[in-house]
Amino acid sequence: MVGVKAVPQGCAITGNLIQAVKYPAGGERLQPGPAADVDRLVEFQEVQVLGPQRTAGRGVGQKKFVWIWNASSEPSAESRPFMTAALNKKVLCFIDEYGTAGAGDLYLGAVLVLARDAGRVDRFFTGLLEANANEIHAAAMDDGYLQGLMHRFWAAVPTDRVVLVNQKIGLRAGPGPVLYAQAVVETVKVGLKRFQKDVLGRETIGNVEVITDQNHQNDHPDFRAEIERSQAHDGRFKGVNRVVAIDSAASRLLQLADVVGYSRKWVNEGTFSAKALRQQLGIQMP
């Protein structure tokens, strides 16, 4: 199928972007694998599942967005095409929002990591949650708990490997999907500028993939048209190869972005200053 890659034997995939699931040698179905396998993460893309009869409840031939990485310390001949130098430099930008485009101020939270670091950063965040924790929805949770969670996360994670940005988008007139696309573009550009300085240490940046929380605005044709226009003409955003929308329940890093977006409320209420938010929780406010 055009644009869809098959998963070869010897590569691992996840059913929910968090827990590892991989092919057992000679097996006929998928079994859970150790979460540590995500250290060898290579690429985030759409694949067509081949071979086993079941994969996280989906049948053979169905498409899904999954993480792909080498499941062994030495790449197999089949998995080697996935392990290119370019992929080692891929930047992932996870974005979630607090507010609604076109209905007042909108705050976007962004989490930027290198693809090779995404699994490790995910585990730092997930490891701070209760074993049976459901999806993190910041607006429905206690502020004190969230502030403590972010304080512990920033104290634990390698701070030179991840950038957290909260971007305010003021009220504007126009169609919601277009406004949301413009907000995503602005947030990604700001985030990439900080990522260049704080993580990469170089001026040029490309091979960027943006992952957003699926909503009624980013699945609209007008959203897609505005994103494609920006990819062709808009400065740093020209380095973005793809923008995808997934259910935030599938990714703890999207849930982390949700908390980052929500954190503007604490500054607005006077609980934190912008300086304290950055120093204590790692969240930058341009």
Q: What is the pLDDT of residues 221-232, one digit of tens each?
A: 999 999 999 998
pLDDT at 80 over 60: no
Q: Is the domain of 97 the same as that of 235? A: yes
Packing angle between helix 143-156 and helix 252-262, nearest 10 degrees? 120
Same domain, 10 and 95: no
- My answer on whether 176 and 66 are in the same domain is no
CATH of the domain at 167: 3.30.420.10
Q: Give the Å distances, CA to CA, from 122 to 47, 49, 75, 77, 212.
A: 22, 24, 23, 28, 16
pLDDT band at 2 (very low <50, low <70, confident <90, very high): very low
Q: Last residue of a domain, which of 62, 83, 104?
A: 83
Query: Is pLDDT of 38 > 80?
Result: no
Does residue 7 register a pLDDT over 70?
A: no
Is residue 114 located within the same domain as residue 251? yes
Q: Are both 164 and 228 inside the same structural domain?
A: yes
Q: Does one domain contain both 19 and 161? A: no
CA distances from 21 to 10, 15, 131, 170 (A): 11, 7, 19, 42
For range 84-108, the mean pLDDT: 76
Higher pLDDT residue, 285 or 27?
A: 285
Q: How many CB atoms lie within 10 A of CB 261?
A: 28
Number of domains in the chain: 2
Query: Do residue 181 and residue 267 come from a single domain?
Result: yes
237 or 51, which is more confident: 237
Q: Which residues pair with 110 in a beta bridge?
A: 95, 165
Domain boundaries, position 10: 5-83
Highest-confidence range of 3-12, 50-59, 194-203, by mean pLDDT?
194-203
Is pLDDT above 50 for 31? no
Domain limit, last residue, from 83, 114, 132: 83
Confidence of residue 218 (pLDDT cuts 50, 70, 90): confident
Asked if 99 and 79 sit in the same domain, the reply is: no
28 and 142 both lie in a single domain: no
Among residues 44, 66, 83, which one ends one of the domains?
83
* pLDDT tens digits for range 42-69: 333 333 333 332 333 333 333 333 444 3
Phi and psi angles of residue 132, each rounded to the nearest 5 degrees, phi first: -105, 25
Quick one: 132 and 29 in the same domain? no
- Could you tell me if 121 and 193 lie in one domain? yes
Q: Are 26 and 96 in a shared domain?
A: no
- Rounded to two decimals, what is the model's pTM? 0.70
